[in-house]
Amino acid sequence: MTFDDKPWITQSGHRFDFSRRQFLRSAASVGLIGLGGAASVFGARPAAAQTPVRGGSLTVAYTAPVDSMDPRVAYSVAGQQFMGSIFDNLIFDNNGQLEPMLATSWAAENGAREWVFNLREGVKFHDGSDFTSADVVATYEMAMDKTAGGRMYNAAGPLSAVTAEGPLRVRLTYSQPFSDGPSAVASRFMRILPAGKFDQLTDHPIGTGPFMYKSFEPGSSATAVKNPNYWDPERPYLDQLTIVGIADSVTQQAALRSGNVDVLSGIQTETFLSLRNVSGLIARSEPGTNYHCLITQINMAPFDNLKVREAFRYLIDRNMLIASALLGQGGVGTDSPFQVTDAYYPKDLPLRNQDLPRAKKLLEDSGVGPLNLDIFTMSERPPSPRIAVALKDAASKVGIGININDVPYTEYAANVTRQRPLYTTGTFATASNLFTNLFLLYHSKGAVNYSQTESGPGVDALIEEILATTDQERKIEMVNEVVSKIVLYSEKIIPYFMNTSVVMNGRVQGYTFPRFDLIDMGRVWVS
Amino acid sequence: MPLWLLITRRIAVMVISLFFVALLTFLIVNVLPGDVATAILGDTATPDQVAALRGSLGLDQPVLLRFMKWFFDLLQGDFGTSLTFNRPVGPMIAGRLLNSATLALICMIVVIPVSILFGAIAAVKQGSLLDRAITGLTTFLFGMPEYVLALGAMLIFAIWLQWLPGAAMINPGESLFLHLDTLVLPVLVISLGGATYIIQMTRASMIDVLASPYVRTALLKGIPRWQVILKHALPNAMLPTLVEIGLSFGALLGGLVIIETIFNFAGIGQLMVMAVQSRDVPVLQACVLVIAAAYSLGSLLADIASMLLNPKLRN
């Protein structure tokens, strides 16, 4: 049976043939999935290449403000975007294509247990000091420090040592063969910091990036100006970049329409839909990599019972959830970090959707008695509470009582994750590297495997083997095998992938959609 | 009792009140689930990472010990360091306070004459269509939450008509007065909300005064009506209104939280919201203390004005 012939949706106990391709086609036609074609519907820019214009300033608004001037702390998208403008990585992740940045070349040694990077010559930090291997060593040693590393900790992979081999050569040594080394190095958390100046970061961040720090108003805005000595003489084009946080949808719309801001990025679907037909604005919504999870904590009752976990996978009507929570601007979740179109998602693996009789049968077979559960969710992370509501509605039809608890994020982070059996998460994003997508999320020692339990028989060993192998075909086979296990065994239920929505005024150019990482502001210009 | 002694006692009470406000804020924030370590590291951090950061920020110390340290630093003029941004709190709130105070001051400059004028007109024209219109409108606006007014004004003037900027965004270090157009909507909304009470207060007070014997006598003596109203009735009717204005300035600073958040105005209210969300206790303490001090100071000035104008109150 071919992939497209596979019957994969079952409703009300009646199996009917509905191929994945048919689904994608019909979902797109009713707006359930924001395929790439959405761009043309909502007004994509002309394809003709234009010569970038130098100068001008750009103000970009995100829902949450820049949260820190320290790359070890910054976590909001706005904060990471600002850090990405001030600092460089060794390697730039251009939507999955790795390009030289502060490293001009790199190579694996000792079976990918070690990676050697040759560094760019003549690069200077914003304060005029030279960039050398000492800065890379200091940064990566920091990333290995659990206390001081902050968000950097773990981001570079299973690192065990970093050594300088001269002023322009660095060797990263891993605790196991790690073929994803360069991808991890390109992670949004692995910015290169100036050695010996870490304490100054919060007051005045100094990087090698295309923009230099100008000002920061905590909780409101951050501004950077062009770095005239950037190692790429062509860029940046902008003279000034300001990133602001605007939480309220009406204020976002008013700010864009009155010219306070040039770009609204990462906005909610409602805001996008309100603005998509406004003349003079360019509105784009494209399939994104962001998703929310429903966590069924494997190490806690009743989800220590596999049949209960499986029953919960059949409770939510995913298509309905995309229509109601995402207003059609999203794609069906696969319970894995890979979307159905991704090569890492097994071609013959059926997608799950609501099947209440099957869920009921699984619950009966599980042997657990009547269930009354609390689910925890956060209105601060929309639309994840809609998952809780959809689950509650469906669960009541199979005799499960669900009580929804909406808590603030700080309470959620302190008292819910890892401590409660059932909750929705904040926003996750599929990364371009398998260390993040598989090890951190599904390995029993992964920091974001909340249950700290193996996500299926043999999954830990498989993930370790995947990280070690350099054979791409073999890697895909093994990832397919892991995915087919985690969609059954793991703690995570992923009901949807959200579209990425951006609205900007017509003068903004070169603002490309990020598939995995952030916008490279050095390539943006204003006409 | 001498006036200076009364004032000294009020100042002492104010200082003690502020101490308890600070203590209460500190305790309440510590009772809330989660702290700045969980806010910084988020839900993806492992428990030992959170514990390590908590230790390095000194959050593993007993609550009262931390409060006393904060308090003694404050006595030396040090508001502490933001746990989230690792920056001194003093400079962080100084610019914000200036922005908020300027906004509040502009609002007061708009509100006071307009409210007194409309209150007086309504009282003089008591029972007329104009009086009913003013009273009806102020009652409607009084019952309308500020955020509804703010969103409504933004929708009409910034989105539909596009006459005014929707967000009151000021870049760090820039003067508010360079962006006066961005202040129109916040000032309009705050003034609409703030004027209602003063209009009603002025109207009620004026009606009482206009019915008093000395006003009737003045009119019977043949003094022109406008002169009686402006020279005799209005100044006397102003006493309770002035007290109310003094109180409302402090309340206005505290009430800016919603407006600043909606209009994205870099004031102390917006900073306070951020501090609550991130459990940044030193920043929150400073914001609460400054707003409480402004409120207390407004109340103190109102009391002093009352005592100066009405000697009976000194006893």
Longest dimension (CA), chain B: 86
B61-112 pLDDT tens trace: 888 888 888 888 888 888 888 888 888 999 989 988 888 888 888 888 888 8
Band (A288; pLDDT cuts 50, 70, 90): confident
| pLDDT mean over A356-362 | 94
Closest partner residue to A220 (CB to CB) among B162, B165, B270 is B270
Q: Which of A211-220, A428-437, A476-485 has the highest average model confidence (pLDDT)?
A: A476-485
Which residues in chain B touch residue A248, judged by CB atoms under 8 angstroms apart?
151, 261-262, 264
pLDDT at res. A42: 34
**CA B49 to each of CA A299, A424, A451: distance values in angstroms, whole numbers, following the listed order:** 21, 22, 16
CA atoms within a 13 Å half-sphere pointing along the CA-CB vector of B275? 26
Q: Is B165 within 8 Å of A259 when comparing Cβ atoms?
A: yes
Residues of chain A found within 8 Å of residue B280, distances taken between Cβ atoms: none
Burial B131-169 (b: 16+ CB within 10 A, else e): beebbeebeebeeeebeebbbebbeebbbeeeebbbbbb
- Closest CB to B43: pick one of A250, A253, A426: A426
Q: Is B75 exposed, middle or buried (0-12, 13-18, 19+ CB in 10 A)?
A: exposed
- Domain A7-86+209-280+506-526, second-level architecture: 3-Layer(aba) Sandwich (3.40)
Nearest residue to B80 via CA among B52, B71, B58: B71
Cα separation of A291 and A330, whole Å?
9
| Range with lowest mean pLDDT among A225-239, A320-334, B171-185 | B171-185
Picking from A179, A169, A172, A170, the residue whose alpha carbon sits closest to that of residue A111 is A179
Chain B residues within 8 A of A216 when measuring between CB atoms: 172
Q: How far apart are CA A271 and CA B201, in angstroms?
A: 41
List beta partners, residue A15: A10
Question: Is pLDDT of B189 > 70?
Answer: yes
Q: Which of B29, B31, B46 is best to mutate for the A interface (most A CBs within 10 A)?
A: B46
**Do A215 and B43 make contact, defined as CB atoms within 8 angstroms?**
no
Rounded Cα–Cα distance for residues A264 and A255 (Å): 9
What confidence category does residue B175 fall into, taking pLDDT thresholds of 50, 70 and 90?
confident
Q: How much is the ipTM here? A: 0.79
Q: Which residue of B has its CA nearest to A74?
A: B40
Contact A255 B165 (CB under 8 A): yes
* Percentage of chain A modeled with pLDDT above 70: 90
For residue B203, the tally of other CB atoms under 10 A from its CB is 27
Q: Give the nearest partner residue to A215 out of B56, B173, B182, using CB atoms.
A: B173
Lowest mean pLDDT among A355-369, A445-459, B16-30, B170-184: B170-184
Mean pLDDT of chain A: 86
Q: What pLDDT sits at residue B55?
A: 83
pLDDT, position A41: 32
For residue A311, name the pLDDT band (cuts at 50, 70, 90). Answer: very high
Domain ranges of chain A: 7-86+209-280+506-526, 91-200, 288-498
CATH code for A91-200? 3.90.76.10
pLDDT in tens, A151-197: 888 888 889 999 999 999 999 999 989 988 999 999 888 999 999 99
Eight-state DSSP code of residue B232? I
Cβ distance B85 to A217 less than 8 Å, yes or no, reads: no
CA torsion B22-B23-B26-B30 (nearest 10°) is -160
Cβ atoms A72, A148 nearer than 8 A: yes
Q: Which of B40, B257, B283 to mutate to test the interface with A (most CBs of A within 10 A)?
A: B40
- Residues of chain B in contact with residue A253, where contact means CB-CB under 8 angstroms, are 159, 166
Q: Quick one: pLDDT at residue A69?
A: 92
* Average pLDDT rounded to a whole number, residues A242-269: 89
Q: How far is B35 from chain A (nearest CA, A)?
A: 7
Q: Which of B86, B158, B274 sits opposite A258 (nearest CB)?
A: B158
- CATH fold, domain A288-498, is Dipeptide-binding Protein; domain 3 (3.10.105)
d(CA A516, CA A92): 11
Residue of A nearest to B45 (CA): A447
Condensed to tens digits (0 to 9), the pLDDT of residues A29-75 reads 333 333 333 333 333 444 445 789 999 999 999 988 998 899 988 88
The pLDDT score that the predictor gives to residue A298 is 95
Residue in A69, A246, A413 closest to B42 by CB: A413
**How many residues comprise chain B?**
315
The packing angle between helices B3-31 and B281-309, to 10°, is: 160
Q: What is the mean pLDDT of residues A306-327?
A: 93
Enclosing H/E stretch for A224: strand A221-226
**Where does the pLDDT of residue A18 fall: very low under 50, low under 70, confident under 90, or very high at 90 and above?**
very low
Output the CATH code of domain B89-314: 1.10.3720.10
Contacts of B182 in chain A (CB under 8 A): 260
Question: Which of A254, A414, A418 is nearest residue B34 as measured by Cβ atoms?
Answer: A414
Residue with the bigger pLDDT between B51 and A515: it is B51
DSSP states along A383-398: THHHHHHHHHHHHHHT
Q: What pLDDT does B314 receive?
A: 65
3-state secondary structure B236-259: HHHHHHHHHHHHHHHHHHHHHHHH
Residue B243 has pLDDT above 90, yes or no: no
- Joined together, the tokens standing for residue A27 give 């979902």
CA distance A146 to chain B (A): 6
**Which residues does chain B have within 8 Å of residue A82's beta carbon, measured at their own beta carbons?**
none
pLDDT at A168: 96
Q: Is the pLDDT of residue A292 over 70?
A: yes
- With CB atoms and an 8 Å threshold, state whether B171 touches A215: yes
Cβ neighbours of B32 in A, within 8 Å:
410-411
pLDDT class of B147 with cuts at 50, 70, 90 = confident
Cross-chain CB nearest to B166 (options A223, A258, A407): A258
Whole-angstrom distance, CA of residue B92 vs CA of residue B141: 34
CA B271 to chain centre: 15
Pick from A198, A200, A197: nearest CA to A129 = A197
Q: Show residues of chain B in contact with A202, CB under 8 Å.
A: 85-87
For residue B7, the model assigns a pLDDT of: 84
Q: Give residue B254's pLDDT.
A: 63
Strand partners, A286: A500
| pLDDT for position A392 | 94
Q: Quick one: pLDDT at residue B315? A: 61
> Chain B: nearest CA to A487, how far in angstroms?
21
The predicted structure's pLDDT at residue B291: 87
Please give the pLDDT value at position A160. 93
CB atoms within 10 A of CB A164: 17
Q: Considering only CA atoms, give the Rg of chain A.
A: 23
The domain ranges of chain B are: 89-314
Kindly list the residues from chain A whose CB atom is less than 8 angstroms away from the CB atom of residue B43: 409, 412-413, 416-417, 425-426
- Indicate whether B58 pLDDT > 60: yes
To which residue do tokens 């892991």 refer? A482
Residue pLDDT, tens place only, A64-114: 899 889 998 888 889 999 999 999 999 998 877 899 999 999 999 998 999
Mutation target among B28, B30, B36, B44 for the A interface, most CBs of A within 10 A = B44
| Partners of residue A258 in chain B, C-beta under 8 Å | 158, 162, 164-167
Query: Average pLDDT, whole number, for chain B?
Result: 84
| pLDDT beyond 90 at A210 | yes
- Chain A residues closer than 8 Å to B40 by CB: 73, 75, 150
Contact A68, A79 (CB under 8 A): yes
**C-alpha distances in Å from residue A353, one per residue of A122, A236, A325, A358:** 55, 46, 16, 11
For residue B182, the model assigns a pLDDT of 83
Which 3 state secondary structure label does DSSP give A498? strand
- Determine the pLDDT at residue B101: 87
Taking one residue from A and the other from B, the number of pairs with CB-CB distance under 8 angstroms is 160
Tell me which residue in A217, A223, A426 faces B266 most closely, judged by beta carbons: A217
Tell me, what DSSP letter sits at residue A160? E
By Cβ distance, the residue of A68, A221, A245 closest to B171 is A221
* Pair of tokens at residue B29: 């924030």
CA nearest to B167 within chain A: A255
- Residue A210: closest CA among A105, A127, A270, A126: A126
pLDDT, one tens digit per residue, over A479-488 is 999 999 999 9
Higher pLDDT, B312 or B199: B199
Report the DSSP beta bridge partners of residue A282.
A504
Q: Which residue of B has its CA nearest to A150?
A: B41
Give the sign of the dihedral formed by CA B176, CA B180, CA B181, CA B183.
Answer: positive
